[in-house]
Structure formats: C-alpha cells, structure tokens
C-alpha cells in the first residue's frame, strides 16, 4: 500500500459513496444502543454522513490514518477467515476510534464497533475485512455525529477557572 495525497482523496470518495450501506447500519446501531440504554437517539441522514466524512478528511493527520486503515481492511482477506479474526477486529476498532476522535469518544467507538460488526455480514465473495470496514465506519461516525442527548449540552463535570 502506498498512501499519497491522491490516494487519500480517493479513499474519502469511496467512504462517501458507502453512505447507502453505512447510514442504515449507523441508524440500526443507534436504535440498538438506544434500546440497551433506554435513550432516544436521532437517526443520521446520508447528507450528515457525507458532511462528516468531509470533516474527518479535512484534518490531514486524521485523513491519512483513516485512509490507511480503510485501505488495509478493504484488501484484507485470510484463508478460512477465522484465523484472521484478530487482525480485522483490531483494524476495525482502530479505524472507528480514529474517526470518532480523542477520548472518551474513541473508546466508545471501539466498543460500538463490536455491536455494529455483529449486525452486518459481508456479501459472498467479499474479503474478510469488508464487513469490518463498514462496521468501523458506522461505529466511528455514529459516535462522532450529534444525536445523543448526553452530548448536547455542557458536561456537569467541567471545572471553571
């Protein structure tokens, strides 16, 4: 893999084009989390997703890492799949965390990755990392995008002065 500025632009466009797959997975994941935590969580639109993809890729340091993780997952395949379970899970978690941003959102995205991953299965003929890529995108962007009440206001733990 050779990551260039042009390759990062190409990856951004690929991720934006995944909206028809990723946005329903974001919303399905948000519904499942809302049920688990007795919370109403707003759904995400394709336009919100694409706009947030643009925001992630506007930060060059983040963009190159997101592009690298996504490219690795897109091409990752392991004979028999299961022996490669660890590597695609690690890459997926790290991609989700990178998209979400710093702590605590990164940890939330990593945890959410496993829920999203369990909700999606690749098509026959897909490489092993394909569904992990979509799950990572869903987990990272669902964590980063607004819609959670607890993120809507100021934290009660902020210390002034």
- Three-state secondary structure call for residue 121: coil
**Could you tell me the pTM of the whole model?**
0.92
Q: Do the domain assignments include residue 54?
A: yes
**How many residues are recorded in the chain?**
161
* Residues of the domain holding 140: 5-9+28-150
Q: How confident is the model at residue 9 (pLDDT cuts 50, 70, 90)?
A: very high
pLDDT at 84: 63
Q: How many domains does the chain have?
A: 1
For the chain, percent of residues with pLDDT exceeding 70: 94
Cis ω on the peptide bond leading into residue 157 (within 30° of 0)?
no
Identify which of 69, 68, 61 has the alpha carbon closest to the alpha carbon of residue 102: 61
Phi/psi region, residue 158 (left: phi>0; alpha: psi -120 to 50; beta: rest), is beta
> pLDDT tens-digit profile of 113-155?
999 988 887 665 576 778 899 999 999 999 999 888 877 778 8
Identify which of 22, 19, 20, 1 has the alpha carbon closest to the alpha carbon of residue 131: 22
Q: Do the domain assignments include residue 63?
A: yes
Q: Do the domain assignments include residue 15?
A: no
Q: Do the domain assignments include residue 95?
A: yes
Q: Do the domain assignments include residue 135?
A: yes
Collect all residues with Cβ–Cβ distance below 8 Å to 12 and sequence separation of at least 6.
53, 54, 57, 63, 67
Q: Do the domain assignments include residue 101?
A: yes
The Cα 62–Cα 87 span in angstroms is: 21
**Residue 69 corresponds to which tokens in the numbers above?**
């993780």
């Amino acid at each position: 893999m050779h990551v260039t500025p042009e390759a990062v632009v190409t990856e951004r466009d690929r991720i934006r084009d995944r909206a028809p797959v990723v946005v329903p997975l974001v919303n399905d994941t948000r519904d499942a989390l809302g049920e688990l935590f007795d919370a109403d969580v707003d759904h995400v639109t394709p336009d919100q997703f694409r706009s947030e993809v643009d925001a992630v890729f506007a930060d060059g340091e983040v963009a190159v890492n997101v592009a690298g993780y996504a490219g690795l997952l897109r091409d990752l395949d392991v004979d028999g799949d299961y022996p490669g379970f660890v590597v695609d899970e690690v890459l997926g978690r790290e991609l989700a965390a990178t998209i979400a941003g710093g702590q605590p959102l990164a940890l939330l995205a990593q945890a959410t990755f496993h829920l999203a991953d369990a909700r999606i299965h690749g098509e026959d003929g897909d490489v092993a990392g394909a569904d992990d890529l979509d799950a990572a995108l869903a987990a990272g962007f669902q964590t980063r995008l607004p819609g959670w009440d607890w993120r809507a206001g100021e934290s009660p733990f902020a210390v002034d002065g």
